[in-house]
Amino acid sequence: MKQGAQGSAVTGNPGGSQGRQVPSGAEDVEVRADVARVPAQGRGADVGRDRGGAAPSARGEQARGEHTHSETPIPRPRPLVQRASVRGQILDALRTALVTGELTPGAVYSAPALGEQFGVSATPVREAMQQLALEGAVEVVPNRGFRVVERGARELAELAEVRALIEVPVMLRLARSVGAERWAELRPLAEATVRAASTGCRATYAESDRTFHRAVLSFCGNEQLVQLADDLHRRAQWPLGSAARPSGGHAGLLADAAEHTALLDALIVGDLDVVRSLVGEHFAGVR
């Protein structure tokens, strides 16, 4: 379905390392320094020392190359795991900022400036941005940072067409094979999209929208298809360039969410004609 979003605060840096604070308003994932900050962890060298500060004798022997076959090694902290956790938080926050448009299409953002805003080093920000570059959301600008890709209405229409080619046949097949009681299980997810749309928060709606679609497609049992469709769906939620942004706003989100509940009603009663009509309209509409 369409874009939805949740507010955040991002330091924009259209030309360098100094950025601009964007007001935040999210409840779940926020691009803010106080949310992205991760508590400091204890240093690995301090783990396992006795009160006098000395390391256990077994570790001392290992440091000298001596074997301690009868002893279980003492687990050490894994900074890489913590860094991956930070990167995941930053990636979620940046994806939210993409949906809301707070990462402005065409603008360049530097990892150090964003890292300062998040209260973390530039490294996890750079890693998250590199992932977004692989997804096509940003592009690398040597010696400057990352530019948010500007998309036009044609790209959005192409994404909608590809999604329809994948999802529509699957939904029609599922409409014939999945029982009404299984479809009824998705009622809370459809209603969640309506509640999310009513908030007017595009990030909140974006997440509930994808959750509903994933749940519908999951009945096909093809995890690769579900993942591919979800990736395309996420890309379709990124905002267009300022010259190509469609109208619709809050009303568009509400109309999109209403199609979810109508589609679910048709799936429950097995009305293939209505299902075919609704899914066709759903992917054709651009809000």
pLDDT band at 198 (very low <50, low <70, confident <90, very high): very high
The secondary structure of 238-254 as a DSSP string is SPPPGGGPPS-HHHHHH
Domain layout of the chain by residue ranges: 1-41+77-150, 153-284
Fold equal for 1-41+77-150 and 153-284: no
d(CA 181, CA 136): 39
> What letter represents residue 153's amino acid?
A
Predicted confidence (pLDDT) per residue in 236-268, tens digit? 888 776 544 444 578 888 999 999 999 999 999
Read off the tokens for 77: 């902290």
Residue type, 56: P
Among 127, 128, 130, which residue's Cα sits nearest to residue 141? 130
What percent helix, strand, coil does the chain show, rounded to 5? 60, 5, 35
Residue 287: Cβ-neighbour burial (10 angstroms; 0-12, 13-18, 19+)? middle
Cα angle 256-258-264, degrees, rounded to a multiple of 5: 110
Q: Which two tokens stand for residue 250?
A: 């809050």
Contact between 212 and 186 under an 8 Å Cβ cutoff? The reply is yes
Tell me the whole-structure pTM to 2 decimals: 0.66
Q: Which of 224, 230, 199, 167 is nearest to 100 (CA)?
A: 199
Partners of 20 in the β-ladder: 12
In tens, the pLDDT along 9-57 reads: 454 444 444 444 444 333 333 344 343 333 333 334 343 444 444 444 4
Domain 153-284, CATH homologous superfamily name and number: GntR ligand-binding domain-like (1.20.120.530)
pLDDT reported for residue 78: 43
Q: Which CATH code for domain 1-41+77-150?
A: 1.10.10.10
- Could you report the per-residue pLDDT of 102-161, keeping only the tens digit for each? 899 999 999 999 999 999 999 999 999 999 999 889 999 999 999 999 888 888 889 999
Model confidence pLDDT, tens digit, residues 67-110 = 444 544 444 444 443 555 888 999 999 999 999 888 999 999 99
Which DSSP letter does residue 12 get?
A: B
Please name the residue that has the structure tokens 């692989």: 134
Whose structure tokens read 């679910």?
264
SS (H, E, C) 74-138: CCCCCHHHHHHHHHHHHHHHHHHHHHHCCCCCCCEECHHHHHHHHCCCHHHHHHHHHHHHHHCCE
> pLDDT tens digit string along 172-193?
999 999 999 999 999 999 999 9
Contact 240, 231 (CB under 8 A): no
Q: In this predicted structure, what is the pLDDT of residue 83?
A: 54
